[in-house]
Protein backbone atom coordinates (compact mmCIF):
# COMPACT_ATOMS: atom_id res chain seq x y z
CA UNK A 1 0.00 0.00 0.00
CA UNK A 2 1.47 3.25 -1.10
CA UNK A 3 1.08 6.61 0.62
CA UNK A 4 0.49 9.74 -1.31
CA UNK A 5 1.95 12.87 0.25
CA UNK A 6 1.00 16.33 -0.87
CA UNK A 7 3.55 18.97 -0.55
CA UNK A 8 2.36 22.48 0.15
CA UNK A 9 3.94 25.33 -1.54
CA UNK A 10 6.33 27.45 0.53
CA UNK A 11 4.32 30.53 -0.26
CA UNK A 12 1.13 29.22 1.32
CA UNK A 13 2.93 28.13 4.44
CA UNK A 14 4.56 31.44 4.82
CA UNK A 15 1.24 33.31 4.40
CA UNK A 16 -0.32 31.29 7.21
CA UNK A 17 2.49 31.99 9.57
CA UNK A 18 2.23 35.71 8.95
CA UNK A 19 -1.46 35.91 10.34
CA UNK A 20 -1.39 37.03 14.03
CA UNK A 21 -3.10 34.94 16.76
CA UNK A 22 -5.64 36.82 18.95
CA UNK A 23 -5.09 36.14 22.67
CA UNK A 24 -8.02 35.09 24.94
CA UNK A 25 -9.54 37.64 27.30
CA UNK A 26 -9.29 37.12 31.08
CA UNK A 27 -13.06 36.40 31.25
CA UNK A 28 -12.75 33.54 28.77
CA UNK A 29 -9.73 32.15 30.55
CA UNK A 30 -11.69 31.84 33.85
CA UNK A 31 -13.85 28.72 33.32
CA UNK A 32 -15.61 29.05 36.72
CA UNK A 33 -17.81 31.84 35.32
CA UNK A 34 -20.36 31.71 32.55
CA UNK A 35 -19.25 33.30 29.35
CA UNK A 36 -20.57 36.85 28.92
CA UNK A 37 -23.44 37.41 26.52
CA UNK A 38 -22.92 39.88 23.84
CA UNK A 39 -24.90 43.09 24.10
CA UNK A 40 -26.42 42.51 20.72
CA UNK A 41 -27.73 39.11 21.77
CA UNK A 42 -29.15 40.43 25.13
CA UNK A 43 -30.98 43.19 23.35
CA UNK A 44 -32.29 40.81 20.72
CA UNK A 45 -34.07 38.49 23.21
CA UNK A 46 -36.80 41.01 24.38
CA UNK A 47 -37.12 42.19 20.80
CA UNK A 48 -37.91 38.64 19.73
CA UNK A 49 -40.63 38.38 22.39
CA UNK A 50 -42.10 41.70 21.31
CA UNK A 51 -42.04 40.54 17.72
CA UNK A 52 -44.35 37.62 18.61
CA UNK A 53 -46.99 39.98 20.06
CA UNK A 54 -46.47 42.61 17.40
CA UNK A 55 -49.02 41.19 14.88
CA UNK A 56 -51.84 41.18 17.46
CA UNK A 57 -51.01 44.73 18.53
CA UNK A 58 -50.93 45.94 14.99
CA UNK A 59 -54.27 44.29 14.25
CA UNK A 60 -55.87 45.96 17.30
CA UNK A 61 -54.33 49.30 16.41
CA UNK A 62 -55.76 49.06 12.91
CA UNK A 63 -59.24 48.38 14.29
CA UNK A 64 -59.10 51.25 16.80
CA UNK A 65 -57.45 53.74 14.52
CA UNK A 66 -59.73 56.14 12.71
CA UNK A 67 -58.66 58.17 9.72
CA UNK A 68 -58.27 61.83 10.54
CA UNK A 69 -57.39 64.79 8.32
CA UNK A 70 -54.12 66.46 9.21
CA UNK A 71 -54.54 70.14 10.06
CA UNK A 72 -50.98 71.02 10.90
CA UNK A 73 -51.40 70.49 14.63
CA UNK A 74 -49.92 67.64 16.60
CA UNK A 75 -52.33 64.74 16.95
CA UNK A 76 -53.98 64.36 20.36
CA UNK A 77 -55.67 61.30 21.75
CA UNK A 78 -59.46 61.65 21.94
CA UNK A 79 -60.87 61.37 25.47
CA UNK A 80 -64.44 60.19 25.86
CA UNK A 81 -66.82 61.40 28.52
CA UNK A 82 -68.48 58.65 30.60
CA UNK A 83 -71.85 60.25 29.82
CA UNK A 84 -71.26 60.87 26.11
CA UNK A 85 -74.33 59.97 24.08
CA UNK A 86 -72.96 58.34 20.92
CA UNK A 87 -75.47 55.55 20.69
CA UNK A 88 -73.71 53.37 23.22
CA UNK A 89 -73.96 53.40 26.95
CA UNK A 90 -70.70 54.41 28.61
CA UNK A 91 -69.51 53.06 31.94
CA UNK A 92 -67.04 54.47 34.38
CA UNK A 93 -64.14 52.09 34.76
CA UNK A 94 -63.82 52.97 38.44
CA UNK A 95 -67.33 51.65 39.13
CA UNK A 96 -68.50 48.02 38.74
CA UNK A 97 -70.61 47.38 35.70
CA UNK A 98 -74.26 46.66 36.51
CA UNK A 99 -75.54 43.17 35.96
CA UNK A 100 -77.89 42.68 33.08
CA UNK A 101 -81.44 41.64 33.97
CA UNK A 102 -82.54 38.17 33.02
CA UNK A 103 -84.66 38.00 29.90
CA UNK A 104 -86.63 34.95 30.92
CA UNK A 105 -90.19 35.25 29.64
CA UNK A 106 -91.49 32.55 31.94
CA UNK A 107 -93.81 33.82 34.70
CA UNK A 108 -92.25 33.79 38.18
CA UNK A 109 -93.14 30.90 40.43
CA UNK A 110 -95.60 31.81 43.18
CA UNK A 111 -93.70 31.84 46.43
CA UNK A 112 -95.11 30.03 49.45
CA UNK A 113 -96.45 32.35 52.15
CA UNK A 114 -94.06 33.02 54.97
CA UNK A 115 -94.86 31.38 58.34
CA UNK A 116 -95.48 34.81 59.85
CA UNK A 117 -98.05 35.58 57.14
CA UNK A 118 -99.87 32.28 57.79
CA UNK A 119 -100.01 32.98 61.53
CA UNK A 120 -101.65 36.32 60.83
CA UNK A 121 -104.48 34.78 58.81
CA UNK A 122 -107.84 34.32 60.60
CA UNK A 123 -109.17 30.97 61.71
CA UNK A 124 -111.73 29.20 59.57
CA UNK A 125 -114.40 29.35 62.30
CA UNK A 126 -113.99 33.14 62.59
CA UNK A 127 -114.29 33.65 58.84
CA UNK A 128 -117.47 31.55 58.80
CA UNK A 129 -118.94 33.58 61.65
CA UNK A 130 -117.95 36.88 60.02
CA UNK A 131 -119.76 35.85 56.86
CA UNK A 132 -122.89 35.05 58.86
CA UNK A 133 -122.85 31.34 58.02
CA UNK A 134 -123.07 30.25 61.64
CA UNK A 135 -121.63 30.92 65.06
CA UNK A 136 -118.07 30.00 65.92
CA UNK A 137 -119.33 27.17 68.12
CA UNK A 138 -121.39 25.79 65.26
CA UNK A 139 -118.44 26.22 62.90
CA UNK A 140 -116.27 24.06 65.15
CA UNK A 141 -118.94 21.33 65.17
CA UNK A 142 -119.27 21.43 61.39
CA UNK A 143 -115.50 21.30 60.88
CA UNK A 144 -115.14 18.24 63.13
CA UNK A 145 -117.97 16.52 61.24
CA UNK A 146 -116.29 17.20 57.89
CA UNK A 147 -119.08 19.47 56.61
CA UNK A 148 -116.85 22.36 55.52
CA UNK A 149 -114.82 22.70 52.31
CA UNK A 150 -112.27 25.45 51.71
CA UNK A 151 -111.21 25.92 48.08
CA UNK A 152 -112.48 22.43 47.31
CA UNK A 153 -110.65 20.72 50.21
CA UNK A 154 -112.42 19.28 53.24
CA UNK A 155 -111.11 20.78 56.49
CA UNK A 156 -111.44 18.67 59.62
CA UNK A 157 -108.81 20.29 61.86
CA UNK A 158 -109.94 22.88 64.40
CA UNK A 159 -107.98 26.12 64.39
CA UNK A 160 -107.07 25.93 60.70
CA UNK A 161 -106.13 29.35 59.34
CA UNK A 162 -107.25 30.37 55.87
CA UNK A 163 -107.22 33.29 53.45
CA UNK A 164 -110.14 35.61 54.32
CA UNK A 165 -111.16 35.59 50.62
CA UNK A 166 -111.15 31.79 50.32
CA UNK A 167 -114.18 29.94 48.94
CA UNK A 168 -116.16 28.17 51.68
CA UNK A 169 -118.77 25.54 50.86
CA UNK A 170 -121.07 24.13 53.55
CA UNK A 171 -122.43 20.61 53.27
CA UNK A 172 -126.17 20.02 53.01
CA UNK A 173 -125.96 18.04 56.25
CA UNK A 174 -124.86 21.17 58.11
CA UNK A 175 -127.68 23.19 56.58
CA UNK A 176 -130.22 20.55 57.61
CA UNK A 177 -128.79 20.58 61.11
CA UNK A 178 -129.01 24.35 61.20
CA UNK A 179 -132.60 24.31 59.94
CA UNK A 180 -133.56 22.27 62.99
CA UNK A 181 -132.28 24.93 65.41
CA UNK A 182 -134.81 27.04 67.26
CA UNK A 183 -134.96 30.46 68.89
CA UNK A 184 -137.15 31.04 71.92
CA UNK A 185 -138.58 34.34 73.21
CA UNK A 186 -139.06 34.34 76.97
CA UNK A 187 -140.64 36.92 79.24
CA UNK A 188 -138.17 36.64 82.10
CA UNK A 189 -139.57 37.49 85.52
CA UNK A 190 -137.59 39.01 88.38
CA UNK A 191 -135.52 36.49 90.38
CA UNK A 192 -134.04 34.50 87.47
CA UNK A 193 -130.58 34.95 86.00
CA UNK A 194 -130.01 35.05 82.28
CA UNK A 195 -127.18 32.54 82.09
CA UNK A 196 -125.93 29.84 84.40
CA UNK A 197 -127.19 29.49 87.94
CA UNK A 198 -125.44 31.70 90.50
CA UNK A 199 -125.86 32.51 94.19
CA UNK A 200 -128.76 30.09 94.49
CA UNK A 201 -130.79 31.69 91.68
CA UNK A 202 -132.09 29.53 88.86
CA UNK A 203 -131.31 30.21 85.21
CA UNK A 204 -134.15 31.42 83.03
CA UNK A 205 -133.85 28.37 80.76
CA UNK A 206 -135.61 26.23 83.41
CA UNK A 207 -138.83 28.02 82.44
CA UNK A 208 -138.67 26.57 78.91
CA UNK A 209 -140.93 23.54 79.18
CA UNK A 210 -144.21 22.48 77.60
CA UNK A 211 -146.25 23.75 80.53
CA UNK A 212 -144.98 27.33 80.13
CA UNK A 213 -145.36 27.59 76.36
CA UNK A 214 -147.66 30.48 75.46
CA UNK A 215 -150.98 29.13 74.22
CA UNK A 216 -151.13 31.84 71.54
CA UNK A 217 -147.82 30.79 69.99
CA UNK A 218 -148.45 30.89 66.23
CA UNK A 219 -145.08 29.54 65.05
CA UNK A 220 -146.47 26.03 64.45
CA UNK A 221 -143.39 24.44 66.08
CA UNK A 222 -144.00 21.62 68.52
CA UNK A 223 -141.79 21.34 71.57
CA UNK A 224 -139.08 18.64 71.58
CA UNK A 225 -136.56 17.81 74.24
CA UNK A 226 -133.81 18.35 71.64
CA UNK A 227 -134.73 22.03 71.51
CA UNK A 228 -133.08 22.45 74.90
CA UNK A 229 -129.73 21.12 73.70
CA UNK A 230 -127.29 23.99 73.27
CA UNK A 231 -129.92 26.61 74.06
CA UNK A 232 -128.11 29.74 75.26
CA UNK A 233 -129.10 33.36 76.05
CA UNK A 234 -128.29 35.95 73.36
CA UNK A 235 -127.82 38.87 75.71
CA UNK A 236 -128.13 39.49 79.43
CA UNK A 237 -130.92 40.74 81.63
CA UNK A 238 -130.25 41.48 85.29
CA UNK A 239 -131.73 39.30 88.00
CA UNK A 240 -133.85 42.20 89.27
CA UNK A 241 -134.98 43.13 85.73
CA UNK A 242 -137.79 41.69 83.64
CA UNK A 243 -138.79 41.59 80.01
CA UNK A 244 -137.80 40.03 76.71
CA UNK A 245 -134.95 37.48 76.79
CA UNK A 246 -133.79 35.58 73.71
CA UNK A 247 -132.59 31.98 74.01
CA UNK A 248 -131.28 30.40 70.81
CA UNK A 249 -129.54 27.39 69.25
CA UNK A 250 -128.79 29.38 66.09
CA UNK A 251 -125.35 30.92 66.09
CA UNK A 252 -126.33 33.43 63.44
CA UNK A 253 -128.95 34.91 65.75
CA UNK A 254 -126.54 35.04 68.68
CA UNK A 255 -123.89 36.80 66.63
CA UNK A 256 -126.35 39.35 65.30
CA UNK A 257 -127.57 40.24 68.79
CA UNK A 258 -124.40 40.14 70.88
CA UNK A 259 -121.56 40.20 68.37
CA UNK A 260 -118.84 42.84 68.64
CA UNK A 261 -120.23 44.62 65.59
CA UNK A 262 -123.88 44.28 66.61
CA UNK A 263 -126.03 47.37 66.06
CA UNK A 264 -129.44 45.92 66.94
CA UNK A 265 -131.52 48.28 69.05
CA UNK A 266 -132.81 47.24 72.47
CA UNK A 267 -135.63 49.25 74.07
CA UNK A 268 -136.30 49.54 77.83
CA UNK A 269 -138.81 51.19 80.13
CA UNK A 270 -137.07 52.38 83.31
CA UNK A 271 -138.72 53.64 86.50
CA UNK A 272 -136.45 55.98 88.42
CA UNK A 273 -136.27 58.03 91.62
CA UNK A 274 -134.13 61.03 92.52
CA UNK A 275 -133.27 64.42 91.07
CA UNK A 276 -131.90 64.55 87.53
CA UNK A 277 -128.95 66.92 87.11
CA UNK A 278 -129.24 70.02 84.89
CA UNK A 279 -127.64 68.44 81.84
CA UNK A 280 -128.38 64.87 82.93
CA UNK A 281 -130.70 64.03 80.03
CA UNK A 282 -128.13 65.22 77.48
CA UNK A 283 -125.43 63.14 79.15
CA UNK A 284 -127.66 60.07 79.10
CA UNK A 285 -128.06 60.45 75.35
CA UNK A 286 -124.33 60.89 74.76
CA UNK A 287 -121.36 61.85 76.88
CA UNK A 288 -121.04 59.21 79.61
CA UNK A 289 -118.25 56.67 80.06
CA UNK A 290 -118.16 53.39 81.95
CA UNK A 291 -114.93 51.69 83.01
CA UNK A 292 -112.97 54.27 81.04
CA UNK A 293 -114.78 53.49 77.78
CA UNK A 294 -116.96 56.02 75.98
CA UNK A 295 -120.54 54.77 75.55
CA UNK A 296 -122.23 54.73 72.18
CA UNK A 297 -124.91 57.34 71.55
CA UNK A 298 -128.30 56.37 73.03
CA UNK A 299 -131.88 57.60 72.75
CA UNK A 300 -133.21 58.58 76.17
CA UNK A 301 -136.44 60.47 76.78
CA UNK A 302 -139.11 60.87 79.48
CA UNK A 303 -142.01 58.43 79.11
CA UNK A 304 -143.86 59.99 82.08
CA UNK A 305 -142.90 61.83 85.25
CA UNK A 306 -141.17 58.83 86.86
CA UNK A 307 -140.31 56.66 83.85
CA UNK A 308 -137.60 56.97 81.18
CA UNK A 309 -137.43 55.28 77.81
CA UNK A 310 -133.99 53.97 76.79
CA UNK A 311 -132.94 52.74 73.33
CA UNK A 312 -129.41 51.31 73.31
CA UNK A 313 -127.17 49.68 70.72
CA UNK A 314 -124.90 48.00 73.24
CA UNK A 315 -125.32 45.99 76.42
CA UNK A 316 -122.72 46.44 79.12
CA UNK A 317 -123.21 44.90 82.53
CA UNK A 318 -125.86 46.86 84.47
CA UNK A 319 -125.37 49.66 81.97
CA UNK A 320 -128.68 51.51 82.45
CA UNK A 321 -128.49 51.44 86.25
CA UNK A 322 -124.93 52.77 86.25
CA UNK A 323 -125.78 55.48 83.70
CA UNK A 324 -128.64 56.72 85.86
CA UNK A 325 -126.45 56.83 88.97
CA UNK A 326 -124.01 59.14 87.13
CA UNK A 327 -126.76 61.77 86.65
CA UNK A 328 -128.36 61.53 90.12
CA UNK A 329 -131.09 58.94 89.49
CA UNK A 330 -131.83 55.57 91.10
CA UNK A 331 -133.47 52.75 89.10
CA UNK A 332 -136.36 50.99 90.87
CA UNK A 333 -137.70 49.01 87.93
CA UNK A 334 -136.48 47.96 84.47
CA UNK A 335 -138.30 46.12 81.69
CA UNK A 336 -137.05 45.28 78.19
CA UNK A 337 -139.85 45.53 75.66
CA UNK A 338 -138.11 45.22 72.29
CA UNK A 339 -135.05 43.71 70.58
CA UNK A 340 -134.64 44.79 67.00
CA UNK A 341 -138.00 44.35 65.29
CA UNK A 342 -139.27 41.77 67.81
CA UNK A 343 -141.57 43.15 70.53
CA UNK A 344 -142.44 41.56 73.85
CA UNK A 345 -146.08 42.26 73.10
CA UNK A 346 -148.66 40.36 75.15
CA UNK A 347 -146.34 37.56 76.19
CA UNK A 348 -147.04 37.01 79.93
CA UNK A 349 -144.17 36.87 82.50
CA UNK A 350 -142.75 33.36 82.90
CA UNK A 351 -144.06 32.15 79.52
CA UNK A 352 -142.29 31.70 76.18
CA UNK A 353 -142.87 31.19 72.49
CA UNK A 354 -140.88 30.20 69.39
CA UNK A 355 -139.53 32.75 66.94
CA UNK A 356 -141.52 32.25 63.73
CA UNK A 357 -139.96 31.61 60.33
CA UNK A 358 -141.18 34.98 59.09
CA UNK A 359 -139.72 36.92 62.03
CA UNK A 360 -136.30 38.58 61.88
CA UNK A 361 -134.41 40.69 64.37
So which residues are the catalytic ones? Answer: 238
Q: Are 246 and 257 in contact (CB under 8 A)?
A: yes
- The answer to whether residues 176 and 196 touch, using CB atoms and an 8 Å cutoff, is no
Write b or e for each residue in 135-159: b if 16 or more Cβ atoms lie within 10 A of its Cβ, otherwise e: bbebbbbbbeeebbebeeeebeeee
Q: What angle do CA 270, 201, 322 make, to 5 degrees?
A: 30
What's the rounded Cα separation, in Å, for the pair 205 and 197?
A: 10
CB 336 within 8 A of CB 270: no
- Nearest CA to 161 out of 122, 115, 131, 134 is that of 122
Angle subtended by helix axes 251-258 and 136-144, to nearest 10: 150
Using CA atoms of 285, 290, 294, 296 in order, give the dihedral in degrees to the nearest 10. Answer: -40
Distance in angstroms (rounded) separating the CA atoms of residues 175 and 168:
13
CB atoms within 10 A of CB 270: 23
* For the chain, the helix, strand and coil percentages under 3-state DSSP, each to the nearest 5: 30, 20, 50
Distance CA 355, CA 361 (A): 10
- Rounded Cα distance between 172 and 19, Å, is 133
Instruction: Measure the CA–CA gap between 276 and 329, rounded to whole angstroms.
Output: 6
Sign of the four-CA dihedral 158, 159, 161, 166:
positive
Element (H, E) at 47: helix 39-64
Backbone φ and ψ of 273, nearest 5°:
-130, 155
Amino acid sequence: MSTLKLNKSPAATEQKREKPVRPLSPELRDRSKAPPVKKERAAAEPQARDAQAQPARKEKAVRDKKPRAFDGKPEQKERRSPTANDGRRQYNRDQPRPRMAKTDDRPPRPSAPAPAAIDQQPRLSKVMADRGLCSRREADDWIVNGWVKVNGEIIETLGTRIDPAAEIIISAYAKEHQAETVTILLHKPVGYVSGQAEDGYEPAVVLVNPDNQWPEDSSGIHFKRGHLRGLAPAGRLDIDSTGLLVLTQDGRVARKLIGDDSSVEKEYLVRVEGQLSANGLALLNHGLSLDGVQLKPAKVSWQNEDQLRFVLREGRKRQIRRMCELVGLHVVGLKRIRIGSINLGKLPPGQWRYLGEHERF
